[in-house]
Chain A
Amino acid sequence: MTHSPEALGISIVLAGEAGQGIQTIEQLLTKILKLDGYHVYATKEYMSRVRGGTNSISIRVASKPVQAPLQRIDLLVALDEKVLSHLQYRITEETIIVGDPEVLGAVPGILPVPLRQMASELGNEMYANTIALGLISGLLAVDAQVMEKYLSSRFADKGDDVVANNIKAAGLGYDRSWTLRESGEVRFSEIRKHEHSNEIMVNGSEAIAMGAIAGGCQCITSYPMTPGTGVITFMAQHQHDFNLVVEQAEDEIAAINMALGAWYAGARAMVTTSGGGFALMTEGVSLAGMLEMPVVIHLAQRPGPATGLPTRTEQGDLELALYAGHGEFPRIILAPESLQSAFAVSRQAFDLADRYQVPVIILSDQYLVDTYYNTAAFALDPRETLPSIVETTEEYQRYQFTPDGISPRGIPGRGLGLVGADSDEHDEAAHITEDLDLRVKMVDKRLRKLGRIKEELPAAGLEGHKDWRTIIISWGSVNPIVREAVAELNRNDVAQIAIQQVYPLPADLHQYLKKADRTIIVESNATSQMGNLILRETGHTFQHAILKYNGLPFTVEELVENLRQCLLA
């Protein structure tokens, strides 16, 4: 099967050592491409080091919105020669590799562009990256004026000289691209441009952080851990505008206990972390369960166990999130699949936590937080947050028994009553008890909330033709990749369920699975943790599991291939 460029767009990869400037090119390029009307998608894979190694950024430029990585590379801009072996598995005969012969040496099959030499002719080797930017822009037939206009505004605060030199450098690269195109050495199929200046471009971390702000988050306490750190960094940078308390805690244990204290006193609070940090938080998760304290936890997964692959991706912590914390208590786990849902889920997490007084875990991963593309501006309406705090009366009891198990939540200092919170088993007034009948009533009260949650959360729904016989299930960030692969397969008998509500699972899941002739689960882990959860909850066993756990996200082509094999079997 050939994937038509018209459908899949052009796949560009920028690769080089950490610190060589691929990020600069990437940031400028993706913005220029978007401004010029292309649909742009970018994701990165990088090593856990500050210098050296090989990092790469994969960019898709397409006529339609895209949300998934490709395996193949149409244009590779190699900033050093290690890149070629690092990315060998993605390079085909058709891949055009552009590089500076001075840097790469005499590698056969490479289109030599003397970037450094051209830059030093301009008076500064620093401009090599801008020349590369101009070259790629030219190869993709970007409107030169759009490129120049963006460079002027981008470098305006650095002075006229810098602006002029960057425009000149980009122009040199751009001109060079025309020579390459005219000589026929490089030819890409045409990609249609669209007007979409109303769309935004943010990555998953930013979407989650903005969703949190929209959800009324006022306090974020965390300890740095890749890939969770992006969320607190973004919020720190905007804390003045949004009245946020942002604190780097001494460890993750402090972070979650601070967040619980903040909710107790009346603020909405969150923590962001990755598997190792979340493991340290688990006693705090259990405390949230006992205190019936809302809390929002962003858990950005990376491959474990232990330190694992710090900068890579995996869906290996579903079971950790599901079982974290001793004792029995309800929780909600949500796994957003896209930037839109990262924003929406993050916002919603605060209302859900508040409404049910349970911990809500947002399960993302390195791939999702580091990926960005153009998408509709996040919708803010209705502009309100759930009012959930009651003014206390003198008789107020924090853990008052109610039919659905949810007790009205008061906060200290607001009302005539007193508000307790106790990690021991407690009575309705929150005081420590060893009355064992009361214990049973309290356990039942806490667990009753899960019934409510199950009733009120939405159904999963199914995507596909009405004649479906095969169901493909995936969750979180893998969903859009499966979606594109399924579209490529173009078969009437295949449908997809894209799970974003991990726990409790959507109530309608079982009914679809029962009807299917064939079921396939796709996950970024080695043991099919979602498959295990579905088995536990519905009794359903999948015929096929497509599992990837080398630290990289699935690609469309590889999934098409894997799915096709499952469908043949």
Chain B
Amino acid sequence: MMHFDMEKIDIAWCPGCGNFGILNVLKRTLVDLKIRPQDLVLVSGIGQAAKTPHYIKANFFNGLHGRALPPATAIKAVNPELKVIVTSGDGDMYGEGGNHFIHAIRRNPDLTVIVHNNMVYGLTKGQASPTSQLGFVTPLQVDGVFEEPFNPLAVAVALNASFVARTSIHDLALTQKLFAQAIQHKGFALVDTFTPCVSFNKVNTRQWYQEHTYIVGDDYDPQDRNEAFKKAVEAEPWPLGVIYKSPAKASFEENLPVYKNNKQPLIDRRVQWEKLEALIESKKI
């Protein structure tokens, strides 16, 4: 169907999993944006969501649980010509990788970060995730979750993230629109994507997301940070759409001194032998 399709693959997701929707929308968006598989790197950690790169025909770096953002940041930094997209789960991104989430936003690398937020740990069979809602009962949280759920949008707005959006996979059109905007956005672009886990989350189902979300109106101004913060802390119904866009700011790569006067990717540069010789020479006194 598309050049991002894999030939023969054995997908590890359950029938009805929201990840299928995310996979298809993402591939379609990549085709629409005319991105070459050779110029694309998909980066993930570990989890069911983090298997996404195995199901798209492109370059990929499937690293450790929680550690998608550090390699993604570095890949973009050493070769800014690549398009780098992170696909990851809520546990991967907000739990194990929480510290990287905070600091990657501060760095603002030009990454698209799609978080498959199913409010549960899927791969490890149903424990609570940082975004599990209060009272959510699991085999491990037997009396229900009592920790305050992590609010990725509010944290991102607090950190002045350059692009913050939320979508829900029950709305494919909205999801595609937001993926496209995020991929085209320069800087750190977060798309927290509500998605049902049919096996381990019987509370936050496809229908539940449909009934508990709404799309922000055209009159909503995502550039107003205070308003964005109010939106970010809204729940039941949860707002979908672009929640916040920071004033334009340089990306991590643009801030790196190596690219200030020279746009050539780092990987094409060679050792500065004369300068090194001069540096050694300067140590003679």
| B99, A241: Cβ atoms closer than 8 Å | no
Complex Cα–Cα for A198 and B285 (A): 9
| A265, B75: Cβ atoms closer than 8 Å | yes
Residue B21 interfacial (CB < 8 Å): no
Residue A432 interfacial (CB < 8 Å): yes
Complex Cα–Cα for A253 and B104 (A): 13
Complex Cα–Cα for A245 and B78 (A): 8
Complex Cα–Cα for A213 and B274 (A): 12
Residue A496 interfacial (CB < 8 Å): no
Residue B223 interfacial (CB < 8 Å): no
Residue A251 interfacial (CB < 8 Å): yes
CB of A142, distance to nearest CB on chain B (Å):
15
Query: Looking at the complex, which one of A200, A238, A261, A413 makes contact with B74 (CB distance below 8 Å)?
Result: A261
Query: Looking at the complex, which one of A201, A267, A287, A418 makes contact with B64 (CB distance below 8 Å)?
Result: A287
| A261, B38: Cβ atoms closer than 8 Å | no
Complex Cα–Cα for A329 and B273 (A): 34
CB-CB contacts below 8 Å: B218-268 with A: 256-258, 262, 265-267
- B35-51 to A contact mask, C-beta < 8 Å, 1/0: 00111110100100001
Question: Nearest CB to that of A150 among chain B residues?
Answer: B285
| B73, A261: Cβ atoms closer than 8 Å | yes
Residue A356 interfacial (CB < 8 Å): no
| A412, B78: Cβ atoms closer than 8 Å | no
A245-B37 contact, Cβ under 8 Å, with A200-B280, A210-B279: no
Query: Looking at the complex, which one of B53, B58, B78, B275 makes contact with A266 (CB distance below 8 Å)?
Result: B78
Residue A328 interfacial (CB < 8 Å): no
- B12-56 to A contact mask, C-beta < 8 Å, 1/0: 100000000000000000000000011111010010000101100
| B82, A200: Cβ atoms closer than 8 Å | no
| A418, B279: Cβ atoms closer than 8 Å | no
CB of A28, distance to nearest CB on chain B (Å):
11
CB-CB contacts below 8 Å: A21-36 with B: 31, 34-35
Q: A260 to chain B: which residues have CB within 8 Å?
A: 63, 71, 74
Complex Cα–Cα for A198 and B73 (A): 42
CB of B34, distance to nearest CB on chain A (Å):
16
Query: Looking at the complex, which one of A197, A291, A380, A422 makes contact with B273 (CB distance below 8 Å)?
Result: A380
- B138-158 to A contact mask, C-beta < 8 Å, 1/0: 000000000000000000000
| B63, A423: Cβ atoms closer than 8 Å | yes
Complex Cα–Cα for A194 and B263 (A): 48
Question: Nearest CB to that of B72 among chain A residues?
Answer: A261
Q: B257 to chain A: which residues have CB within 8 Å?
A: 239-240
CB-CB contacts below 8 Å: B84-108 with A: 99-100, 102-103
| A242, B272: Cβ atoms closer than 8 Å | yes
A269-B74 contact, Cβ under 8 Å, with A243-B269, A261-B61: yes
Question: Nearest CB to that of A389 among chain B residues?
Answer: B267
Majority SS of interface residues in chain B?
helix
Residue A438 interfacial (CB < 8 Å): no
| B280, A210: Cβ atoms closer than 8 Å | yes
CB of A153, distance to nearest CB on chain B (Å):
8
Q: B99 to chain A: which residues have CB within 8 Å?
A: 250-251, 253-254
Q: A380 to chain B: which residues have CB within 8 Å?
A: 273, 276-277, 280
- B176-217 to A contact mask, C-beta < 8 Å, 1/0: 000000000000000000000000000000000000000000
Number of residues from B at the complex interface, CB < 8 A: 58
Q: B79 to chain A: which residues have CB within 8 Å?
A: 265-267, 411-413
A377-B77 contact, Cβ under 8 Å, with A245-B266, A258-B71, A411-B267: no
| A267, B276: Cβ atoms closer than 8 Å | no
Residue B126 interfacial (CB < 8 Å): no
Residue A552 interfacial (CB < 8 Å): no
CB-CB contacts below 8 Å: A195-234 with B: 197-202, 206, 210, 213-214, 216, 218-219, 221
Q: B273 to chain A: which residues have CB within 8 Å?
A: 380, 383
CB of B210, distance to nearest CB on chain A (Å):
32
| B284, A419: Cβ atoms closer than 8 Å | no
A431-B54 contact, Cβ under 8 Å, with A221-B74, A242-B275, A261-B71: yes
Complex Cα–Cα for A500 and B30 (A): 50
| A423, B46: Cβ atoms closer than 8 Å | yes
| B258, A413: Cβ atoms closer than 8 Å | no
Q: B39 to chain A: which residues have CB within 8 Å?
A: 412-413
| B280, A378: Cβ atoms closer than 8 Å | yes
| B64, A284: Cβ atoms closer than 8 Å | yes
CB of A39, distance to nearest CB on chain B (Å):
15
Residue A527 interfacial (CB < 8 Å): no
Question: Nearest CB to that of B57 among chain A residues?
Answer: A418
CB of A42, distance to nearest CB on chain B (Å):
14
Residue B271 interfacial (CB < 8 Å): yes
| A377, B281: Cβ atoms closer than 8 Å | yes
CB of B9, distance to nearest CB on chain A (Å):
8
CB of A166, distance to nearest CB on chain B (Å):
17
Residue A48 interfacial (CB < 8 Å): no
Residue B62 interfacial (CB < 8 Å): yes
Question: Nearest CB to that of A415 among chain B residues?
Answer: B38
Complex Cα–Cα for A10 and B103 (A): 51
Q: A291 to chain B: which residues have CB within 8 Å?
A: 63
Question: Nearest CB to that of B42 among chain A residues?
Answer: A420
Residue A259 interfacial (CB < 8 Å): yes
20 A-B Cβ contacts within 8 A? A197-B284, A198-B284, A216-B271, A218-B266, A219-B266, A221-B70, A242-B271, A243-B262, A245-B77, A245-B266, A251-B99, A254-B103, A262-B75, A264-B71, A269-B74, A380-B273, A413-B39, A418-B37, A421-B60, A431-B54
Q: Nearest 9 pairs between A and B by C-beta? A: A261-B71, A261-B74, A266-B267, A257-B70, A412-B59, A250-B103, A200-B283, A267-B78, A258-B74
Question: Contact residues of B with A, CB < 8 Å?
Answer: 9, 12, 37-41, 43, 46, 51, 53-54, 57-64, 67, 69-75, 77-79, 81-82, 99-100, 102-103, 256-258, 262, 265-267, 269-273, 275-277, 279-281, 283-285
Q: A201-B283, A206-B283 are in contact. List 4 more A-B contacts (CB 8 A).
A: A34-B285, A201-B284, A221-B74, A411-B267
